[in-house]
Structure 1
Amino acid sequence: MYNCHIHTFTEKDIPEKFYPKFIMKFLRKESTEDLAKNLMKYIKILEDLFGIEADEAERYLQFYIIGSKESQDEIFRICQPSYPAGTKFFTLSMDMQFMGCGNVLRDYSLQLDELATTDTTHILPFVHIDPRRNGYFSILRKAIEDQGFRGVKIYPPLGIFPFDARLDSVYEYCTDNNLPVIAHCSPHNPTHYKGTRKELIELLKNPYFNVNPRGLNKKDLCDIFTHPKNYHIVCQKFPDVRISLAHYGSDRMWKKMLCNPDDEDNWVNIINSMLLKYPNLYTDISYTMYQNQAECSNTFYLLLNSFLQNETISSKVLFGSDFFMPASQETETHFVSGIRSVIGDALFSKISESNPRRFLGL
């Protein structure tokens, strides 16, 4: 079995200004044990007390609670026991130096060094590449050729288009070396570029289309980097690169699908159409499916099952949880059993075993 999307980075890998000061002042009054035990209650408190959106409150709490562990190995040991022996985990590094929140506490190379030596039997590490970092291509080559990394991660909402010309060498390298790419692809993401609006508008300038920022907040503007349609350019230019558009459009888009399934602008419909068009394009269900199990069993899982009846789409979907991003009282074990109970053993085996192997190029 494969879990195709987890994280193990620590608070040492988070920018110094990631948390608003008033949030840190509040969190430090509480024990991490109490925060973890009453996670959903504290998300509601942050919403009501500080006017923070639920997804952002969730992200602050998860980064604070789980990220405070001493090592990536300690974080991984929280996730691993929920899965059968022998499960492999696509473990995605994060380079957050360029998101406009100040400096990261430790050098990115140290995060990669630690990940490369953490449970090499079960972890399949992916190297996050941001072309704004000096020497990014050398970092890529070292990770793949010397440290055993198995693929590449890109994270557009931090302020970079997936079709950025500086990434061409990365896609070419992935083509030549049979490497997959996992790309964050969900809107309104709490982890996004947080510099000034002026800086963000400058970053959005590109050779393919004009951006009208009027009436858009910073999260909306960052969605432009992340939009699945950007990958038409990448897939046409680099047709042999296997790319997974992580999160299958997001829970936000799945909720909209339930009300308006024919909306052509819904990211879920866009991704499905692209899965049918591009042979090497994939998606994963990480985070999006990690909701209240009773709710999902009657909504998202049934919708997923209907999508998986299409043979082409069912061969392009990857199982993943996005540990440790989702805040839920459910365990990873419940997440697995809930999906399996609705889509059945055969389809679950497909998205958690055969599809991941093909995505890896095995």
Structure 2
Amino acid sequence: MPINCHCHIFSLECVPLAFRQRFVLDLRSPRQALAHRAVRAVLMPGVRLETWLDFTHLTTAQIAEALVAEMDEAGVELATPLMVDMEFSSAYPGGVKAYDEQIAETLAAVAQVNARSPAPRLLPFIGADPRRPGVADLVLGHLATGAFKGVKIYPVMGFLPDDERLYPVYAWCEAHRVPVTAHCENGGLPGYDGFYHLAAPENWEPVLRRFPALVLNLAHFDRTGTPWQATIEGLMQRFPHVYTDVSFDTEMFWMPGRYFANLHRVLRTPVLQDRLLYGTDWYMGRFLWSEKTYLTWFTRGARRIFWSPVRFTRGDLRRLTEDNPRRFLGLA
């Protein structure tokens, strides 16, 4: 069954207040709450934007339950919710729930879901920002207990991945084969344009030279044909455990012929074909697709692009959604 290597369950309180205020997501503001009600009033019932707006009102536990419900509908076996430490965001500093509370709520939500199944459904990754005091002790303490499966690095918050304060984390992850997922897209959160360059794949080269066996997912794979994508592919060829994922690329929606043809190429290229991971970035793209419809783009949608159909074999899809994710997560 498919494994989703890229999703989120954090609540709006984990997002900086200044960001929420700028993008009309501050539901404590009477004006912004009124704006939400006005938008919902004019939307047709059931449209995806209305569904996405629902998440702005939910707790982490409720979002986790919604994710698992969609996983069940889509036939997805397992997912890895990725935390993001946003407190030290250079673009919008502060105004978030205390990080220890975020961690506790994430672990409680995951435990509640996993307690209902004979095998885990959610394997969370803890977010790491080098500017957090004692970040290595915090992250390694949680990893050592097995509470978290991996680590999430989000350089667009305002730091380079080659920050020496993260070296103890990388060293421990390399030694214990703990996977690291990093945002690696020349884009992402609106309002962070001046910081996108920090996520460039070449910024990981010094890290990989120092920790060559690090299991690293350079997430999002940027855009078809970009220099970033070429660099990601080069790192995958040079280092034995570098991966990338297909999570939330709007190119899939707007230019599906080009997008799926490129993924078809990757899935037929030695080395690269074993390093491409399935992910959706749920619920960030929930206004466009659900867990089920995202997966359907790969199983049926791509072959229905009348001007440029792309047909993935069962072997291609098994490699993308099952075999590669299991290897990345150390479950194979």
TM-score, length basis structure 1: 0.76
Q: Which moved more, 1:15-24 or 1:227-236?
A: 15-24
Matched-pair identity in %: 26
1:319 pairs with one of 259, 269, 278: 278
What is the RMSD of the two structures over their aligned residues, measured on CA atoms? Answer: 2.5
Q: Which moved more, 1:100-109 or 1:233-242?
A: 100-109
1:322 match: secondary structure? coil
1:28 partner amino acid? L
Could you tell me which runs of 5 or more consecutive residues in structure 2 were left unpaired when the two chains were aligned: 115-119, 301-310
Alignment partner of 1:30 is 2:36: yes
CA–CA distance in structure 2, aligned partners of residues 166 and 67 of structure 1 = 33
**Against the structure 1 CA distance between its residues 21 and 330, is the aligned structure 2 distance closer, same or farther, given a 3 Å change threshold?**
closer
CA deviation after TM superposition for structure 1 residue 122, in Å: 0.7
Could you tell me which runs of 5 or more consecutive residues in structure 1 were left unpaired when the two chains were aligned: 43-60, 194-218, 258-264
CA–CA distance in structure 2, aligned partners of residues 304 and 175 of structure 1 = 28
Alignment partner of 1:8 is 2:9: yes
Q: What does residue 308 of structure 1 align with? A: 267
Q: What does residue 155 of structure 1 align with? A: 154
CA–CA distance in structure 1, aligned partners of residues 22 and 209 of structure 2 = 44
CA deviation after TM superposition for structure 1 residue 78, in Å: 2.4
CA deviation after TM superposition for structure 1 residue 176, in Å: 1.9
CA deviation after TM superposition for structure 1 residue 28, in Å: 3.0
Q: What does residue 20 of structure 2 align with? A: 19
| Residues 188 and 222 in structure 1, CA contact (< 8 A), matched pair in contact too | no
**Against the structure 1 CA distance between its residues 192 and 147, is the aligned structure 2 distance closer, same or farther, given a 3 Å change threshold?**
farther
CA–CA distance in structure 2, aligned partners of residues 149 and 177 of structure 1 = 13
| Residues 171 and 211 in structure 2, CA contact (< 8 A), matched pair in contact too | yes
CA deviations on 1:133-159 (whole Å, 9 max, x unpaired) are: 112112112321235200011000111
CA deviations on 1:228-280 (whole Å, 9 max, x unpaired) are: 1111111111001110000011xxx22xx3xxxxxxx6211221222112111
CA–CA distance in structure 2, aligned partners of residues 290 and 6 of structure 1 = 18
| Residues 290 and 321 in structure 1, CA contact (< 8 A), matched pair in contact too | no
Alignment partner of 1:171 is 2:156: no
Alignment partner of 1:77 is 2:77: no
- Mapping for residues 341-352 of structure 1, pairs under 5 Å: 341=300, 342-352=311-321
1:271 match: secondary structure? helix
Alignment partner of 1:279 is 2:240: yes
CA–CA distance in structure 2, aligned partners of residues 107 and 22 of structure 1 = 22
Alignment partner of 1:109 is 2:100: yes
Q: Which moved more, 1:156-165 or 1:21-30?
A: 21-30
CA–CA distance in structure 2, aligned partners of residues 147 and 237 of structure 1 = 25
- How many residues align structurally? 301
**Against the structure 1 CA distance between its residues 102 and 268, is the aligned structure 2 distance closer, same or farther, given a 3 Å change threshold?**
closer
| Residues 297 and 339 in structure 1, CA contact (< 8 A), matched pair in contact too | no
CA deviation after TM superposition for structure 1 residue 319, in Å: 0.1
- Mapping for residues 1-362 of structure 1, pairs under 5 Å: 1-21=2-22, 23=24, 25-26=31-32, 28-31=34-37, 33-34=40-41, 37=46, 65-69=54-58, 71-84=59-72, 87-100=77-90, 101-117=92-108, 118=110, 119-120=113-114, 121-146=120-145, 148-190=147-189, 219=193, 221-249=194-222, 253-254=223-224, 257=225, 266-288=227-249, 291-292=252-253, 295=254, 297-341=256-300, 342-362=311-331
**Against the structure 1 CA distance between its residues 78 and 14, is the aligned structure 2 distance closer, same or farther, given a 3 Å change threshold?**
same
1:124 match: secondary structure? coil
| Residues 187 and 196 in structure 2, CA contact (< 8 A), matched pair in contact too | yes
TM-score, length basis structure 2: 0.82
1:354 match: secondary structure? helix
